[in-house]
Structure 1
Amino acid sequence: MIIALAHLGLPYDAEEDYQLLKEQDRQQIQKVSFLTSMELAHYLPGIDVLISGRLHSGYDHPWEDPLNHTLCFQNYARGSNLGAVVLHFDVKNKAIVKYDYLSEEGAMLLLSEDEFWPDQQMAAFIDSLQTAYHADPDSILGYTLTSLVRSSQGEAPFNNLMADAMLEASRADFAFNSYNSLRQNIPIGQITKMDILDALPFANQLVVVKVRGKMLKDLLERSVQGSFMGVAIAGGKVVYDPKRPNGQRITQFLIKDQPIDEQKMYRVATSSYLAEGNGGMIPLSFLPDDRFEWTSLTVRDAVINFIKKHSPLKISTDGRWVRK
């Protein structure tokens, strides 16, 4: 039996989206963006159960792909419920014969205090974390004269701010981070601590990695392969052409206004998440320990310090990341 865990997401309306999927097949439309869990279950036979996430839409009952008969389950978001299902498997015929729920309502258990009393020791521990996390949430860090808008498709003011903050805090030659690190825009006006906590919810550490120019270029090539659209950068300029083959898409790469030297060793700031090889940055996971400088700051700390130092902010795009 094959059970897949997918951070892809089932659609909000399964019937409507499945009709769109069939129409896509009929017209032989080749999708270039990421797949949904529905599309994965439809196009990849052999998965018995697919447990999905990412989109905040819960399914009381699984959606079953009519073609491959993959059972797809998905919960709502923010820990508000628990998915629970009992699968009955026929060992001889290697097939799921039925499934049962632990709840009368379906595959999701609502985690309300009316039904599930909190464990006192764990509740106290969580309260202590929340107190530290939300200390002085309304304290004003600074002001912005322009909207801090993020983007997952190229350069944007908030992307630039994050990367600039990482570069300044680390004093590195170059900095890059995933677009997905930013989860919320910040409008014109005051910037509170809570704004930054909401926009940068992950406590990823700021790390400096020593890499040669050849590897650095390869890492950024990985960020634009397929349908990917790159990373937030500071300290240089990247021009790429998505029509070129994978691995050959970057047509210009400058660091401090100079063409990247493939043999030179650069100090590059990034997040601990990427430094560990996640987000497609697999080559970083094979580097020896002495190539890494682990700072005492998180990426969020660097952004907070940058805002305090440079407020009022007037962040804009400047052509550091160009798609042809």
Structure 2
Amino acid sequence: MKTSKLAVIISTLVLGGLTATSAQAVPVASAQSIVAFENFKIFKADGVTQIDAATDFTGLTVNSSQSTNAFIGAATDSDSSASPSGATLVTQSTVGAITPASLATDFANNAVAPVDPHVVDLPIIGGNFAGTFSSEQGSPIANFFGAAPSASLYNASYASLDATTGTAGTTSDSKLTAEVTFTPTASGVLVFSFDVGAFVQSYLTAGADQKANAGFTVTFKLNPALGGAGLLDSTSNPFINAITKNYLFNDGVTDDAPGEGALINSAFNAVVLGDKTLTTTNQTFKTLALAAGTKYSLFAEITTSADVELKTVPEPQSLALLGIGLLGFAASSRKVRGQSMIA
């Protein structure tokens, strides 16, 4: 009988512990990734005289495209746009009710005119949503189809999850791509100048399962139109790879299971102003010498992504203890039944 009571006590304790494990604090997972890319211009070697589409290039073509995607489980929203003429592009996708209100306002305004996306305070409590938007305006080349002689581009992805049971996940990603082909009318070096800022952050409730991650990339590739080695000068900027001669500015952060319950920030996070907009820092880099009459292809891309997943299940240790307790209970029950039959 003592053994039977002990088994019942063990089982009760294990089941109690299992219940406590399953009923964690409300799981919250959030992630955001924002890139502001402003005042993009292309200059001649002096870094002062801006390239003019009417006189410095022939055969100039520009094809820009954007795509945004948002997911919450099976619910999805996607958008895309493209322009060969330097016209302003705006795309956005959302699933779920966007919180907080300031972010919802950003999305509402972005549907009308490109806006500088705001950083939000993580964790975002009480929201299951995925949202992403992308916008492009202007041109880095003067006199290109009447577009303003500088370009500003914004890309942002947000994801938030607040669930107590089951499995859920939100994902958002955005991509902005431009391909420029041109033939210089004179040999020489080009200088690229822009202001860039990024903010990447993730949060996962302490002890929670799964993950919260976010990341971004900014890429430039310049090659002869028919292919070949990259033509960016790796000595002019630390983000240009010396071998591939591609500009790559990127970072990402992940809060993986079990969650830390703390904000995890990217190494490149820009300072956030009082109105939650990003500050930007000027960067420049140069090309190697380009030959007059040769066609070149410039590829540029900005991406952001935010992804959160959460799965509230009993921990393996609790399942193991439950199994031991139940086995002990079963064994003691058999022993009691045997003693009763003998009696």
TM-score category of the 2 structures, normalised to the smaller one: under 0.3
Which is richer in helix?
1
Q: Provide the TM-score with structure 1 as the length reference.
A: 0.19
Give 1 or 2 for the bigger CA radius of gyration: 2
Which is richer in strand?
2
Greater RCO (CA < 8 Å, at least 6 residues apart): 2
